[in-house]
């Protein structure tokens, strides 16, 4: 393969896939952005995760309290 072949291939490529001529944004995308921001999942605070971890550890160490816990729930 030589440089001439590469240029030929590039020319063919440009004929087949022409450079994009219209790069103008047709509309303001901020409304879509706001929708996307609203869709963001609710974040679980770190202390909720800590509480859940603590509870899991407690239940693992003292499985005897599970029936009592279920009774009170």
Residues at the interface with other proteins (CB under 8 A): 1-2, 4-6, 8-10, 12-30, 32-33, 36-37
Q: Is 9 helix (H, G, I), strand (E, B) or coil?
A: helix
Neighbours of 33 (CB within 10 A): 10
Q: Which CB sits closer to other proteins, 28 or 71?
A: 28
- Smallest gap from Cβ 38 to other proteins, in A, equals 11
- Smallest gap from Cβ 16 to other proteins, in A, equals 4
Q: Which CB sits closer to other proteins, 12 or 65?
A: 12
65 within 8 A of 59, measured Cβ to Cβ = yes
Find the distance separating the first CA and the last CA of the chain, reported in whole Å.
76
């Amino acid at each position: 393969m030589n440089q001439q072949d590469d240029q030929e291939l590039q020319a063919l490529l440009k004929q087949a896939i022409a450079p994009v001529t219209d790069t103008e944004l047709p509309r303001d995308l901020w409304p879509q952005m706001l929708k996307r921001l609203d869709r963001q999942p609710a974040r679980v605070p770190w202390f909720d995760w800590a509480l859940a971890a603590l509870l899991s550890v407690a239940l693992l160490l003292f499985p005897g309290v599970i029936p009592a816990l279920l009774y009170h729930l």
